[in-house]
Amino acid sequence: MGALPVPAKTFFQDFAFDLLTYTIERDSKVIATAEGLTNTDE
């Protein structure tokens, strides 16, 4: 994993239109949510 050239808060504000909400589930129950970008090389 590389370092961001700007603070993470600024980076994700600039790319807010690309953010996806991910859920982490255990035993069919959501235990956490997070936002992030896709991990594709398109």
Residue 19, pLDDT score: 81
Give the ranges where 1-42 is alpha helix by DSSP (H): 8-14
User: Where are the domains positioned within the chain?
Assistant: 1-42
| pLDDT score recorded for residue 4 | 65
Contacts of 17 (CB under 8 A, 6+ apart): none
Which pLDDT score, from 0 to 100, does residue 24 have? 94
Contacts 24+ apart (CB under 8 A), 31-34: none
In this prediction the pTM is 0.52
Separation between Cα atoms, residue 40 and residue 22, nearest integer Å: 15
pLDDT tens per residue, range 7-27: 777 877 777 778 888 999 999
Q: Which residue has the tokens 């589930």?
A: 25
In the chain, pLDDT over 70 holds for what percent of residues? 86
pLDDT at 40: 73
Q: What is the pLDDT of residue 28?
A: 95
